[in-house]
């Protein structure tokens, strides 16, 4: 069990550019979540997948944000036309999501800085 991994760990981009982040969940986990965390705050939910199906999106996820989880394995989060307000830590988490096991295990995050 290698845990949840995220790539890249840091991303600096100019306003208006597109960025894409990747998350690899724990291999047997069916559920995958994306959260956003700003400095001094708790994580806020963005979206979640059950296998390859995206079942919920937060109102925080504007039209510039899109997430995919092809084949129910890794996931990508893309932000188009980045804005300075998008600067945050983007966290990915996965969970088994069955049999009463709902703990979410988090990756190290991708810190995005938009200049």
Partner 1 sequence: AQTVTQSQPEMSVQEAETVTLSCTYDTSESDYYLFWYKQPPSRQMILVIRQEAYKQQNATENRFSVNFQKAAKSFSLKISDSQLGDAAMYFCALFMNYGGATNKLIFGTGTLLAVQP
Note whether 108 binds partner 1 by CB under 8 A.
yes
Minimum CB–partner distance for residue 56 and partner 1 (Å): 6
Q: Does 103 bind partner 1 (CB under 8 A)?
A: yes
Integer angstrom CA distances of residue 34 from 14, 54, 94: 22, 11, 9
Closest CA to 2 of 98, 71, 105: 105
CA-to-CA separations, 76 to 43, 79, 101, 110, in angstroms, rounded: 18, 10, 24, 12
Q: How far is the CB of 89 from partner 1 (least distance, A)?
A: 10
DSSP 80-103: SS--GGG-EEEEEEEE--BTTB--
CB of 37 to partner 1, least distance (A): 9
Task: Say how far apart CA 102 and CA 81 lie, in whole Å.
Answer: 34
Q: Which is nearer to partner 1, 25 or 107 (CB)?
A: 107
Q: Does 18 bind partner 1 (CB under 8 A)?
A: no
| Binders in 54-73 for partner 1, by CB under 8 A | 55-56
Residues that bind partner 1 (CB under 8 A): 33, 35, 40-45, 48, 55-56, 91, 93, 97, 100, 102-109
């Amino acid at each position: 069990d290698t845990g949840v991994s995220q790539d890249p760990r840091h991303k600096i981009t100019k306003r208006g550019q597109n960025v894409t982040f990747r998350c690899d969940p724990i291999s047997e986990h069916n559920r995958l979540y994306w959260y956003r965390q700003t400095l001094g705050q708790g994580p806020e939910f963005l979206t979640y997948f059950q296998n390859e199906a995206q079942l919920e999106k937060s109102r925080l996820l504007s039209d510039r944000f899109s997430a995919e989880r092809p084949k129910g394995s890794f996931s990508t989060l893309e932000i188009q036309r980045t804005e300075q307000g998008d600067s945050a830590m983007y966290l990915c988490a996965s969970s088994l999501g069955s049999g009463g096991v709902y703990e979410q295990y988090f990756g190290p995050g991708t810190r995005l800085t938009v200049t």
